[in-house]
Amino acid sequence: MVITPTQFGGDLKKFRIGFDGVTASAVPVLWEVVRSSNASNSTPGTGNTSESTNITQAYGQTITAGFTAFSASTSEPTALTVLDSNLLTPAGGLLMYDFPLGDTFECGASAGLGIRLTAPATVNARVSMLVERI
């Protein structure tokens, strides 16, 4: 989950999801792109891993990011809106999606954009998101 500061919002330009499973019969993972209003439990808490130091600017003049983030949530924000979802195999499954111009997902200031994964099988996942300030 990427959380925007009070000064600006965020625009999700692309995301990547990958799994390292090896069992072909494993139940597919539900992936969801979500928007958070940050109405409740919006900051890293119990079971969340703060990732604010892993936010990397991809291009342009170097500035202070202003974004914060968290991952590995056992207690997630309760006010989430699902923007897109589907299923993906955990057996080495990979999804790389770049949004077409004008079709991106946005959130306002003091809100969040994230990827939620629900995996019935035990599998490791990697997620990356490219978010721009708006």
For residue 56, the model assigns a pLDDT of 79
Better pLDDT: 8 or 47: 8
pLDDT of 133 above 70: yes
* Whole-Å CA distances, 106 to 13, 30, 32, 40, 133: 9, 21, 15, 19, 10
Reduced DSSP (H G I as helix, E B as strand, rest coil) percent helix, strand, coil of the chain, to 5: 0, 45, 55
The predicted-structure confidence for 84-117, as pLDDT tens digits, reads as follows: 999 999 998 899 999 999 999 999 998 999 999 9
Least-confidence region, from 64-68, 70-74, 95-99: 70-74
**What pLDDT is recorded for position 46?**
53
| Helix (H) and strand (E) counts in the chain | 0, 10
Instruction: Give the tens place of pLDDT for each residue, 17-64.
Output: 999 999 888 899 999 999 998 776 655 555 555 555 577 788 888 877
